[in-house]
Every structure is written in C-alpha cells, then in structure tokens.
Amino acid sequence: MVNLKEVPFSLQPEDIDWVTSTLAEMTLEEKIGQMICTRGAAKDEHTLKELVSRFHIGAIMYRPIPIF
C-alpha cells in the first residue's frame, strides 16, 4: 500500500480520508478511466464532455490539428 503521508504525497489525515472515501465510491470502470490520458483535437465542448463522462477519462492532452 502507498503511504500517502510520505513524499511525494505528504497528505494530511483529512486529505487521506477524502482519497480513501472517493476511491471506495468509484466503480472499477471509473478507476480504470482515471488512468487514461488521451489526445484530443476536437474543439467542440459537447464532444469533449461526452468523451470524459462516457469513459471517465482522467486527462486529455489537447493537440489542435494543424492547418497548412
């Protein structure tokens, strides 16, 4: 188990409680989604929100499509 009190986390007890309770409430699908960091090129806010809510993506690296 990771010690959340030690570096690099250095969390206070109330922060550790939040992490523990948040993880306990997450589904396996949500936990897996949080490990994903994908590339995105869409500017459409609806499309991006759908991607995040559907797949529970942890992060999106925005890479606009270059126009030559």
Nearest Cα to Cα of residue 40 among 13, 22, 58: 58
Two structure tokens written together for 40: 């995105």
DSSP three-state, residue 38: strand
Indicate the burial class of 30 (C-beta count within 10 angstroms; 0-12, 13-18, 19 or more). middle
Structure-token match 């969390």, residue found: 11
Cβ–Cβ under 8 Å, residues 37 and 60 = yes
Q: What is the pTM of this model?
A: 0.70
The tens-digit pLDDT sequence of the chain (68 residues) is 799 999 999 999 999 999 999 999 999 999 999 999 888 777 788 888 888 889 999 888 877 777 77
